[in-house]
Amino acid sequence: LFSLKAFVTLATTDSYSKGAVVVAKSLRRHGTTRSIVVMVTPNVSNTSRAVLSEVFDEVIVVDLLDSEDFLRLSLLGRPDLGVTFTKIHCWTLVHYSKCVFLDADTLVLSNVDALFEREEFSAAPDPGWPDCFNSGVFVFRPSLHTHAQLVQHANQHGSFDGGDQGLLNSFFSSWAVEDLSKHLPFVYNLSASTVYSYLPAFKQFGHKAKIVHFLGSTKPWNSSADSSSQTMGRYVDMWWTEYHSHTTSSAS
Ligand code: UDP
Ligand code: MN
């Protein structure tokens, strides 16, 4: 039977919309056969929405959800990330049977449609605490029931880091110990910090990278390539090339 599957990203601002455009363009460059969807919040400008609608199959407006957990967010050093709670609205996209969420600060380097063979909840380890998953790339099944449970969990317990990653890690807490097939290879969520923290591994395996994640407060859209290390600089260059590229419009 035909079942719809989609890549999903999120932009709550015009800046993050720039990142989202690159997510879509890089997925298309590598020939995805799946739909590509972006969730935006009401404050995203009409100009940004128009640009997004050229590269995405669907632009879906969702409510802004903010943890407003200033204490934990300051511990994380990212006071801006309370709004990442909005991410959990991706579970409401029930016209799709399975989805892959990609942060707006990711860049796809090869075809990653194989991710749809994975089950909920699959994600790659977080480089800062590998018993937690990083919530920048994950496989999930839209479900209004799961969505309601996540909202309830957020209201009752908040998030240990003030953002979506703490919330999702508490909710899917068996991820670390249960099922290795739900551990995505690190090459599906290669973060910049790895290049510095374990350079030999990067030299050995870096060429296999499938998705690069510009995790941290410096994003490609507010940095130029020559301000970073040579290796990440190359990825920032690639990000800008993708940003300026012309692409065939959405599949629909
Ligand atoms: N995001 C957003 N607006 C914001 C902050 C975050 O739309 O002001 C979304 C965006 O999709 C982003 C994701 O939430 O990629 C997670 O935030 P970010 O990537 O900045 O966190 P990091 O990966 O650096 O921890
Ligand atoms: Mn990110």
Tokens of 48: 């940004």
Residue 119 lies in a domain: yes
Residue 232 lies in a domain: yes
Tell me the C-alpha to C-alpha distance, in Å, between residue 211 and each of 112, 137, 138, 171.
8, 9, 12, 25
Residue 103 lies in a domain: yes
81 Cα: distance to centroid of ligand 1 (angstroms): 7
State the total domains in the chain.
1
Residue 111 lies in a domain: yes
Does 12 sit in the ligand 1 pocket, CB within 6 Å? yes
What CATH number should be reported for the domain holding residue 170? Answer: 3.90.550.10
Strand pairing of 129-140 and 190-191? unpaired
The stretch 10-17 carries a mean pLDDT of 98
* Per-residue pLDDT at 192: 77
Does 106 sit in the ligand 1 pocket, CB within 6 Å? no
* Per-residue pLDDT at 174: 97
Cα(90)–Cα(74) distance, integer angstroms: 26
> What is the atom index within ligand 1 of the atom nearest the CA of 41?
7
Query: Closest by alpha carbon to 77, among 215, 239, 250?
Result: 215
Burial class (CB in 10 A: 0-12, 13-18, 19+), 50: exposed
Q: Is the pTM of this model over 0.90?
A: yes
Q: ipTM score here?
A: 0.99
Query: In this predicted model, what pLDDT tens digit does every residue of 84-128 receive, in sequence order?
Result: 999 999 999 999 999 999 999 999 999 999 999 999 999 999 999
- Is 80 exceeded by the pLDDT of residue 23? yes
Residue 155's contacts (CB-CB under 8 Å, 6 or more residues apart) are none
Q: What is the mean pLDDT of the chain?
A: 93
Quote the percentage of the chain above a pLDDT of 70. Answer: 94
175 pLDDT band, cuts 50/70/90, is very high
2 pLDDT band, cuts 50/70/90, is low
Residue 192 lies in a domain: yes
Residue 249 lies in a domain: no
Strand, helix or coil at 244? helix
> What is the atom index within ligand 1 of the atom nearest the CA of 10?
11
> What is the atom index within ligand 1 of the atom nearest the CA of 12?
7
* Per-residue pLDDT at 228: 55
Ligand nearest to the CA of 38: 1
Give all strands (DSSP E) within the chain, no chain letters. Answer: 5-11, 35-40, 58-61, 98-102, 106-108, 122-126, 129-140, 190-191, 211-213
Q: What is the domain extent for residue 147?
A: 5-244
Residue 186 lies in a domain: yes
Query: In this predicted model, what pLDDT tens digit does every residue of 186-235 receive, in sequence order?
Result: 999 999 777 778 889 999 999 999 999 999 998 999 987 655 566 778 89
Residue 235 lies in a domain: yes
Does 241 sit in the ligand 1 pocket, CB within 6 Å? no
